[in-house]
Amino acid sequence: MSGYVMASAGYWSSIAVLEGPRLLSGVAQGPGLEEHRVTWQPPPMVGAAGLVADLRKIRLLGRGGAHFPFARKLATALESGRKREVVVNAAESEPASAKDSALMTTAPHLVLDGADIVARALKARTVRVVVPADRPAVAEAVRTAVAEREAARSAVRHQVYVSDGGFVGGQRQAVMELIEGRENLPVTAWQPEAESGVFGRPTLLSNAETFAQVAALCALGVGTYGRAGTPHEPGTTLLTVAGDGPGGVVLEVPLGEPLAVVMHRCGYDPEMPALVGGYHGTWLPAHEVARRRLSDEDLATVGGTLGCGAVLPLSPAACPVALTAQIVEYLAGSSARRCGPCTKGLPELARALTSLATGGGMAAGARIAQVAGLVRDRGACAHPDGTVRLVRSLMTAFPAEVAAHERGGCAVG
C-alpha cells in the first residue's frame, strides 16, 4: 500500500483475479451462463426450512463487513407472511475492496444462482442487484448475465440498480434508499431490514459473495462445504490484497489460513504490517501479521475483524501515521453529512491526525483521543464507528511511530 488514497474507481479494473477452489473455480472458462454450467449445475430447489438448517450448520456469516449470521436474517424474513424482497448488494464502495466486483465480472451467475435460491425460499419474485457507478464493467457484466437468464426463462426476475453514493452508498440503508427512488445515502433505521426493508417488506439483503457462498453450499452439500476452513468457521472467503494501489489481487482462501501465507502468495513480506478489513478495519503490526489467521475468531483476539476482506500491506517506506491521516481525511469527506459525528466529528478527527502527522506534537495526540471518544457510538450509521476503529488501531499497533510524531519527528525513513 502506498501513500495515496483513491477516492473513486481506484485500481479495481487492473486487479488480478486468481482461480480459486470454489467460488473462483471457473473463472478461466468465462462469465457466460453456458460456461458457468460446465462447473456449476442449475441450483436445486431447496425448501426454506432446509436452507435455514444448512446455513446454521455451516455458520455462514455475511461477507460484506458486518459478518451477521445469514441464517438468522433468512429465518427473520421467513417469519413474516408478507411479500418479501431479495437484494444483492454489489455496490462495493470501499476503495480497497474488489472481491464483489471480481465475482460479478468473472462469475456473475454463481451470485445469481445463490440469490435465486434465496428468492425461491422466500417466495420472492424479483432479485434486485445493486452495482457501483464507478465500476461500469460490473454493471455491464450483470446486465449481460441477467439477459442470459431471461433468455433461459428464469423463474425469477432480476432488476439492476446503480449506486452513486460514494463510500457510504453501499451501506445497507443507503442501498434500500436507492431502490426506493431516494438519494443513495444512509438513514437511521429502527428495525432490521429482515423485518422491514425495501418498501416496508421483509428484505434479505447481503453482498455478492454471501449469495455465491449460498450457491456453493447448495451445490456441494454441508459435508463437502465444511471440508474447507475451520470447525467453527467452515468454508472459504474472498480477499482483496493491495486493492487501492497497483498490483492488487483478488483470491479465494480457506477460512483460518495464516495471514502470512496469503501475504507471501501475493508477493509481500509475510512479516510486514498490514491494514486488515479495509478503511474501517484495524492495523496489525508485523509480529501480529506473522501469527494471525484469517478468521474472525482469531482476529478478534487482537481487536480485529476480516471486515470487507481487504488486506493492505504497509510499505516499509510509508508512514502509518501519515497514511492513516490520508485515509481518515478521505472518510471524513465521504460521509452522508446527516449527523453531527459525520459533519463535525470526522473532519475534526482528520484535522487532528493531519496535525499529528505534520508535527502537531502531544496536543494532536490528545486531541485524537478526545475526538474519537466523542464520535464513537453516536452516528446515524456505522461510518463514524468504523473510522474510529481504524484510528484507535493505529495508536495501538504503532506506539513507537505515534510517539515519534508526538515528539515532532517520524520513525520512518
Burial 214-241 (b: 16+ CB within 10 A, else e): bbbbbbbeeeebbebbbeebbbbbbbbb
pLDDT given for residue 10 in this prediction: 55
- The strand pairing partners of 17, in sequence order, are 250
pLDDT in tens, the chain (413 residues): 333 333 334 566 678 899 999 999 988 889 999 999 999 999 988 999 999 999 999 999 999 888 899 999 999 999 987 799 999 999 998 999 999 999 999 999 999 999 999 999 999 999 999 999 999 999 999 999 999 999 999 999 999 999 987 899 999 999 999 999 999 998 888 889 999 999 999 999 999 999 999 999 999 999 999 999 999 999 999 999 998 877 889 999 999 999 999 999 999 999 899 999 999 999 999 999 999 999 999 999 999 999 999 999 999 889 999 999 999 999 999 888 888 888 899 999 999 999 999 988 888 889 999 999 998 878 778 899 999 999 999 999 999 999 999 998 887 86
Q: Is the pTM of this model over 0.85?
A: yes
The Cα–Cα gap between 260 and 241 comes to 12
- The strand pairing partners of 127, in sequence order, are 86, 158
pLDDT given for residue 12 in this prediction: 65
Q: Tell me the domains of the chain and their CATH numbers.
A: 17-225 (3.40.50.11540), 236-313 (3.10.20.600), 320-406 (1.20.1440.230)
Q: Considering Cα of 327, then 328, then 330, then 331, what sign does the dihedral take?
A: positive
Nearest alpha carbon to residue 305 among 296, 294, 297: 296
Number of Cβ within a 10 Å radius of residue 337: 12
